[in-house]
Amino acid sequence: MRFLLIVLLFLVFGYSLVLVLANNIDAKVNLVFTQVPAMNLGLLLIITLAIGVVMGLLLGIQVFKVFQTRWEISRLKKEMDTLRNNQLKHAASAALAAQQASPVSSPTVSSSAVNDSLTKRP
């Protein structure tokens, strides 16, 4: 992998060098608010390409962070629902076991009443 990156880097550098040498015409650039002095057209193309690549990478990283955060939130919501359902099942089975253990001394508790009391949030 490292060898492939080194070869790719040399290819990009070689292409940039050929681009600068092939386009040796001076060009003026007007940046609306300021005027850039005349510079080599090939160099201008390379600078423009580099700025575009950097901006694209920064935007890509930002978009990926947004998607990663959304995926994490949805995963955590699913996990929370699963845990909540497990908690409700265990509470209902514990209430049922307590009811069956001492049916004379304890009042009757239905599983729906246990579910309702556990799902209410303060």
pLDDT in tens, 73-121: 999 999 999 999 999 999 989 888 888 887 555 455 555 655 565 565 5
Ranges of each domain in the chain: 2-93
Q: Find all residues with CB under 8 Å of 95, minimum gap 6, and list them.
A: 109, 111, 114
Q: Which two tokens stand for residue 116?
A: 């309702």
pLDDT in tens, 34-57: 888 888 888 888 888 889 889 988
Helices 2-22 and 41-101 cross at an angle (nearest 10°) of 150
pTM (two decimals): 0.50
